[in-house]
Structure 1
Amino acid sequence: MPSAVIVNAKRTPIGKINGMFKNLTADELAAPIIRELALGVPHVNEIILGNIVGPGGNVARVAALKAGLPLSITGLTIDRQCSAGLEAIRVASCFIQAGAGTCYIAGGVESTSTSLFPNRARFAPEEIGDPDMGVAAEHVAQKYDISRKKQDDYTLQSYEKSWNAFQQGIYMNEIVPIKGKSDDEVFFKPRKMEALLKRSLPLFSDNNGTVTAANSCAINDGASSVLLMEESFAIANGYRPVLRFVDSAVAGVHPNYPGISPVPTITQLLERNQLTIQDIDLIEINEAFASKIVACSEALDIPSDKLNVRGGALTLGHPYGASGAILVTRLFYEVQRMDNPKYCIAAVGSGGGIGVALLFEVVKHDED
């Protein structure tokens, strides 16, 4: 079976809703990333993007044309809620494994600022349960006994990791500047996070609620994609593979508890590939809510020094359709800073109770 490898990965800076990218549409955010990844590539089969809140239509095709790619390069747009960007990478990897193509640009984009939709789409039928994601995060906290203190402690740690990464220039290689902006908008002004966590009130439950604005992600604009190639094609064309796609898993849980869905997906990956959590060097799980991350890390027994090591969406923000691809982009650069890593995982839990997880092997080279 052909092997799918990632040879490059990029993202935009992440903007706040109605912030620095408030006038940029989804295709305008995605196009510079596509253009950057496609530069000098001899052949691209297709652009595959996740997108959730509009504008509707085939955003991937529009973005490919906006990027100036040849008319022959088509586009496919995917909606699997917050895991859409990760699903796009999964689909492209499977296409390569199946022999359908040799090169894809895959990821996601979200422009919440320019979305035409005033309300979210349904996640599930009302008779089953269709809570907003914040309410669902509170459900997870209550069911899995994730206290306010645990959530706030994790959020503060994530915030400190993110700021340390920014101050060290860790994010620089990930980012393609857009309209003169090269930093995530959250870093324009430091926050007194410890005080903010203490004074924030519960948002979704009056009775012993634990989920607050401070231990939840923001709503954001941004785009991210990776360049995937069939391994022999990549090597023949002078590219250096970094991550090799090994396997993927998708699992459904009750729509009232979508935040726990990374647990069965990661468990499937480990069991199917005869691995344990100790065999995984890095794990990125989207930080939509601290309750979700703490619940997943406790259920899977993930060591803190392997999980979201440079922070995540709790600080940087969550541009829905792009977030899964941002996780993979983070892994792409982080493994190159490590000493002899072998495996890494990216996972997202989505509205409606769907989890998606991808397992990658770090490609070894003779000079390593």
Structure 2
Amino acid sequence: MSRPVIVDAIRTPYGRRGGALSGLHAVDLLGRAQRGILERTGVDPASIGEVIGGCVTQAGEQSGNVVRFAWLHQGFPDDIGSTTIDAQCGSAQQAVHLVAAQVAAGYVDAGIACGVEAMSRVPLLANLGDGTVGRPRPDDWTVDLPAQYEAADRIAERRGLTRADLDAFGLRSQQRARAAWDAGLFAGQVIEVKLPDGTVVTRDEGLRDTSLEALAGLRTIREGGLHTAGTASQISDGATAALVMSEDRARAEGLRPRGRIVAQTLLGAEPRYLLDGPVRAGERLLERTGMSIGDIDLFEVNEAFAAVPLSFARVHGVDEDRLNVNGGAIALGHPVGSTGVRLIASVLDELERRDQQLAMVAICAGGAQVTGAIIERV
């Protein structure tokens, strides 16, 4: 059995809705990430066994296997197979899990896991169409599966989180992300994107100057709710890619492995709370490994809404100085099909900077699911 390792993980900058990257077709955007990971590692595209990537809204420009089209659009060898998956917001993380499983099983010795979402061009729910082919839920559906923003408020109420708690977390995400950018901490994971007009995009566009007073003045997403635009993830454009190889091949090619997956999971969450799955993922990962929360150095829990990482932290007793230490989707953006690789890239970078060993990554996902993994620095 081959031991899979993560050799590297990169991403494009994340553009805001209607921003600098909104003119790029999703195929072009993802292709740049695929090319970026190959160029940075020096791996021949012809030697890749398989490409698996995430995309949530597979409609219009993102339909028809966007991962395959991106690969072909870059002029890469046409005999390399590609698969596009939809595990909602956990899609890119699940792509990493699947490629690692292929390597572990010995079916391939190198693969690319990636993800994309051009949300400016293909809005969420665009794949529902005009209703002529029906809706995802049948007429007799009775499961209490709320809208995401309602679920986020339910989680806040469940954990006793106040509007002030959520606003404080939203401010912290912005402050940490800006500090990380100013200190150059994202330089290792972000590749530049040159636009057709010659403009070069090098930085995330979602960072905002704000304050607790400004956040407190925002209208809630739903009447009587708790979350606002300042405590929810941003609609964004972006792509990510990671190279996963067998450790033997990586070392034979002179590549230094950066991490390995100690344990991984894709779980169902409680439908009523929809997005509270990271709590359950944490429990499952610790059970599988025999570890405790104290064994984990860093945690990345996707900031779909502020209540999600705050709920995880309260249940598992995680200190804020180990959670989303460089900000998250509230500040950086959340191109939903791509985010899983961003979180993995972030923990790999931070473990190396801190000379630490273990990180947990968890991403709540639509349909009441969650992806999770414990990543070990190699």
* Shorter-chain TM-score tier: over 0.9
Q: 2:151 aligns with which of 126, 131, 136?
A: 136
In structure 2, what residue type is equivalent to 1:198? A
Alignment partner, residue 374 of structure 2: 359
**Residue 89 of structure 1 pairs with residue 105 of structure 2:** no
Q: 1:324 aligns with which of 336, 340, 343?
A: 340
The answer to whether the 8 A contact 1:162-1:316 is kept is yes
Once the two structures are TM-superposed, the CA of residue 249 in structure 1 deviates from its matched residue by: 1.5
Q: Deviations over 1:15-37 (max 9, x none)?
A: 11221111212111111111121
Structure 1 unpaired stretches of 5+? 364-368
How many angstroms apart in 2 are the aligned matches of 1:123 and 1:81? 14
**Residue 218 of structure 1 pairs with residue 234 of structure 2:** yes
Q: Deviations over 1:33-83 (max 9, x none)?
A: 111212331411111110011321111101111222111212110001111
How many angstroms apart in 1 are the aligned matches of 2:236 and 2:146? 20
The answer to whether the 8 A contact 2:34-2:114 is kept is no
How many angstroms apart in 1 are the aligned matches of 2:166 and 2:34? 36
Moved more, 249-258 or 272-281: 249-258
**Residue 49 of structure 1 pairs with residue 67 of structure 2:** no
Alignment partner, residue 107 of structure 1: 114
The answer to whether the 8 A contact 1:196-1:214 is kept is no
How many angstroms apart in 2 are the aligned matches of 1:26 and 1:97? 30
SS at match of 2:36: helix
How many angstroms apart in 2 are the aligned matches of 1:124 and 1:348? 23
Q: How does 1:10-49 map to 2 (within 5 A)?
A: 10-39=10-39, 40-42=42-44, 43-49=47-53
The answer to whether the 8 A contact 2:286-2:293 is kept is yes
CA-based RMSD of the aligned residues comes to 1.6
**Residue 205 of structure 1 pairs with residue 220 of structure 2:** no
The answer to whether the 8 A contact 1:102-1:233 is kept is yes
Once the two structures are TM-superposed, the CA of residue 118 in structure 1 deviates from its matched residue by: 5.7
Once the two structures are TM-superposed, the CA of residue 116 in structure 1 deviates from its matched residue by: 6.8
How many angstroms apart in 1 are the aligned matches of 2:18 and 2:271? 29
**Residue 343 of structure 1 pairs with residue 350 of structure 2:** no
**Normalising by the residue count of structure 2, what TM-score does the alignment of the two structures yield?**
0.91
How many angstroms apart in 1 are the aligned matches of 2:287 and 2:254? 35
Decide whether aligned partners of structure 1 residues 114 and 147 sit closer, same or farther in structure 2, where only a CA change above 3 A counts.
same
Alignment partner, residue 366 of structure 1: none
In structure 1, what residue type is equivalent to 2:53? L
SS at match of 1:321: coil
Q: How does 1:180-329 map to 2 (within 5 A)?
A: 180-187=200-207, 190-206=208-224, 209-329=225-345
**Normalising by the residue count of structure 1, what TM-score does the alignment of the two structures yield?**
0.93
How many angstroms apart in 1 are the aligned matches of 2:289 and 2:106? 22
The answer to whether the 8 A contact 1:124-1:130 is kept is no
Once the two structures are TM-superposed, the CA of residue 143 in structure 1 deviates from its matched residue by: 2.2
In structure 2, what residue type is equivalent to 1:318? H
Q: Deviations over 1:290-347 (max 9, x none)?
A: 01111111111112111111001010111000111110111121111112x1211111
Once the two structures are TM-superposed, the CA of residue 184 in structure 1 deviates from its matched residue by: 0.6
The answer to whether the 8 A contact 2:266-2:371 is kept is yes
Structure 2 unpaired stretches of 5+? 129-134, 195-199
Once the two structures are TM-superposed, the CA of residue 120 in structure 1 deviates from its matched residue by: 6.3
Once the two structures are TM-superposed, the CA of residue 123 in structure 1 deviates from its matched residue by: 7.4
Once the two structures are TM-superposed, the CA of residue 130 in structure 1 deviates from its matched residue by: 3.5
Once the two structures are TM-superposed, the CA of residue 231 in structure 1 deviates from its matched residue by: 0.5
Aligned residues, how many?
358
Decide whether aligned partners of structure 1 residues 115 and 49 sit closer, same or farther in structure 2, where only a CA change above 3 A counts.
same
Q: Deviations over 1:98-142 (max 9, x none)?
A: 111110110210001121776465776642134221121112112
In structure 1, what residue type is equivalent to 2:93? L
SS at match of 2:245: strand
Decide whether aligned partners of structure 1 residues 8 and 298 sit closer, same or farther in structure 2, where only a CA change above 3 A counts.
same
Alignment partner, residue 162 of structure 2: 147
Alignment partner, residue 131 of structure 2: none
How many angstroms apart in 2 are the aligned matches of 1:345 and 1:174? 18
Q: Deviations over 1:188-226 (max 9, x none)?
A: xx42232321101222232xx211111111111101111
The answer to whether the 8 A contact 1:138-1:205 is kept is no
Alignment partner, residue 72 of structure 1: 79
The answer to whether the 8 A contact 2:146-2:274 is kept is no
Decide whether aligned partners of structure 1 residues 124 and 231 sit closer, same or farther in structure 2, where only a CA change above 3 A counts.
farther
